[in-house]
Structures are given as C-alpha cells and as structure tokens.
Amino acid sequence: MQSPPQAPCGQSVAASHAGGHDVESYAGPVRRRRRARGVLRTLLGGLALGFVASTTIIAAVYDAETSRPTPDPAGLHFVRTGAYLTRYEAWGRASLHPVVLVHGAFESADYWDPVATRLSRTAHVEAYDLEGYGYSQRVGPYDAATLATQLYEFLRARHLTRPVLVGHSLGAGVIANFVLKYPHLAAGIVFLDGDGLSLSIPGAQVVQWIPTIYVTALFRYAVRNDSLVSTIFRAACGPRCPAVTPAVLTMVQRPFEVARAQASLLAYATQPIVGVSVAQLRAVGRLRIPARVIFGADDTQYSSSTPRLTAERLGAPAPEIIPGAGHLSLWSSPGPVATAIARLVRTLSSSSS
C-alpha cells in the first residue's frame, strides 16, 4: 500500500519560516507602541509630580514669607463682651435712641464711617466688629448664636438702651437672630442690603479637603493683591462708588492680615451664611418692632423682588430703594442711607416724647 505523497521537507520549513516572519513583523510595532505609551505615561507622571512638587515648594516659600501677622492699627477702642474683646467706634452725643451699626460679611466697623458721621449730627452712633471680622478678638465659635450673644453683651457693656439696630447684608441676619432671642431690647431695626435669611453655599465644604499649605497661600495672595481686592470692592460698591484710594484698600485688606483672620473666615465659609429661616423672619415681624428695609437699586446679590419680600415679612413699610447704589450702599450712598435711618429714629423719638 503506497503512502500518500508528502510535501518536501524544505517546503514545510520554508512555510514555517514565512509564518514566523509575519508574527515578528506584527509583534515588533506592538512592542514599540507599548514601550512608547509607557514612556509617555512615565513622562506625564513625572511632569505631574514635578508640578505638584514645585507648586508645593512655591506655596511653602510664600507661606513662610507672609507668615508674620499684620499688627492691629494703633488707637483702637475695645470693650469686653463675654470671653473676648470687641473692637468698636463711637460718634456723637448721647441720644434717646442710640443707633448701633452691624456690618456684613468680610467687612468691619470702618465701612460705616461715612454713614455714622452723618447720623451723629442728630444721634449717638456706635459700630463694632463682629467676632471673626475686623479687629475683635478671634476665639470662636463663629455662628449665629455667638454673634447674637456678642451684640447683647456689647449693648450691655456700652450701656446702650432702646437702640435702633441697623444691619448691613449679613448684619441683618445677626439682628434677626438677636431680636428673636432678646425681643424687648431693640426700639427699631433696619435691614440694609440684606434679607436676614440664612443660606447654604453649595460646595463650601470642598475647602476642607484642600491641603492647608495651598489654602494659606491662596488666601494670603488674594487678600494682598491690590488689583483683585480693588476690583471686587468696586463691583460690590456699584456704579457710584467713590475712588478706591490706598487708604480704602488698607481699610479693606488689613483686617484679613491680622492673627487668626484666615482661620475665622474659613470657619464662616464652611457653614451656612448667618441668618434665619423665612418662618423665623415672619416671627420677627410678629414682634411688631418698627422696621425699615433699604436696598441699593443696583444690588446684584439679590433678586429684584427681595426688598419687597423682606419688608412684607418684617411688617415694614415699602422698602426704600437708593438709585445707583450697589450692595455697598453704606459706602457708595451714605447720605441717603443716613437720611433713611434718621427718619426712623425721629419717628421713634417723637412717639416716645
């Protein structure tokens, strides 16, 4: 029986070699591409690591160069309010209804000077720095209850009875909390560029996850950047904002450079804005404390309906709208603001006599 014919041995070997060349010709580029991708990943990883390392070094150096706190200005006035000292300013002679001015977030008592100077012609006026702002001692906690207690302790320490309380922006929330806790102390209240409502800021907790070295560097750079601070101030002030002079920049920036300023501001930033709920604000209205609401016509931080809604909730007359004023109407339009406050003081004085 004959065996089936077989291909010559050389032919089989040749075919095998041909197939081997095909595999090698495919595997070579694959290996080279993988090697290239590996090199690229290593390079990108090195660049990222180098960026993080260099950024960290720059931040550390900047933190070290700016680590010395700025001292408080000379000649400030302080009064003890519970466990800490509160900085304050006073204008004018004693009057039946002293006016107490409560500033807003990122502000200080100095923001009230143009208004207070005008008001002091007919009333005694005082303004103080909220704990965590300005030059009051920073001990914490930084919350609504603490700020309401600070206002109570301030009135008691300064012997201010039956005051008219004026709150700008966040200061309106402080006053709302205060009158709910101490309903019989204020003769009148004024909400200036503020609705008194608490507000949670989306994403505020993110700052807690950022390494402190970066937060510190960014904070110090921002508060020391004259151009940035000036731009933000003018935007809040509105179209009639006076010139932002070096003296004004110092007024704005210096409180952010004192000891523990960063810690207190970050504490405020990671919690809801100080204020009350709508229901609580209506409860303030039911106390029947004479109230007024004043807003700048160009205040972009609130909707156009906010002044009316705030007045309705407080049981106040129609809100007074100041043409050309932004969110810092106390700075851009101190005359109209002082006039509106003085009208309430005169009304209260007349009814008391």
pLDDT at site 216: 80
- Highest mean pLDDT range out of 2-6, 62-66, 127-131? 127-131
Mention the CATH class of domain 77-201+273-352.
alpha beta
Closest CA to 325 of 348, 342, 301, 343: 301
Burial class (CB in 10 A: 0-12, 13-18, 19+), 312: middle
Tens-place pLDDT, residues 144-193: 999 999 999 999 999 999 999 999 999 999 999 999 999 999 999 999 99
Give the rounded distance of the alpha carbon of 297 from its chain centre.
Answer: 22
d(CA 252, CA 245): 11
Give the residue-averaged pLDDT of 224-239: 94
Q: Which residues pair with 101 in a beta bridge?
A: 127, 166
Q: Is the pLDDT of residue 194 over 60?
A: yes
Q: Which residue has the tokens 């007919």?
A: 122
The predicted structure's pLDDT at residue 47: 53
Q: What is the mean pLDDT of the chain?
A: 86
CA distance 150 to 145: 9
Q: Is 100 strand, coil or helix?
A: strand
- Strands in 92-207 per DSSP E: 99-102, 125-128, 164-168, 188-192
pLDDT digits (tens, 9 = 90+) for 213-228: 877 888 888 999 999 9
What is the average per-residue pLDDT within 25-44? Answer: 61
pLDDT at 236: 95
Mean pLDDT is lowest, of 47-56, 76-85, 110-119, 175-184, for 47-56
Neighbouring residues of 9: CB distance < 8 A, sequence distance ≥ 6: none
- Check residue 33 and give its pLDDT: 62
C-alpha 137/C-alpha 239 separation (Å) is 34
For the chain, what are the domain ranges?
A: 77-201+273-352, 204-268
- Dist. CA 42–CA 301, nearest whole Å: 47
pLDDT at 14 over 60: no
What's the pLDDT score for residue 268?
Answer: 87
The candidate with the shortest Cα–Cα distance to 282, out of 270, 291, 269, 274, is: 291
Q: Model confidence at 331, in pLDDT bands (50, 70, 90)?
A: very high
55 has pLDDT over 90: no
pLDDT band at residue 126 using 50, 70 and 90 as cut-offs: very high
pLDDT at 46: 59
Whether residue 248 is predicted with pLDDT greater than 90 in this model: the reply is yes
Is a pLDDT exceeding 90 seen at residue 18? no
Residue (of 145, 168, 114) closest to 336 by Cα position: 114
Question: What mean pLDDT comes out for the span 99-117?
Answer: 97
Predicted pLDDT at 132: 94
User: What's residue 200's pLDDT?
Assistant: 78
Contact 152, 182 (CB under 8 A): yes
- Look up residue 151 and give its two tokens: 């206002």
Collapsing DSSP to helix, strand or coil, 196 comes out as coil
pLDDT tens digits along 59-103: 444 444 445 678 899 999 999 999 999 999 999 999 999 999 999
CA distance 1 to 79: 123
- Work out the pLDDT band at 15, boundaries 50, 70, 90: very low
* Distance in angstroms (rounded) separating the CA atoms of residues 115 and 336: 9
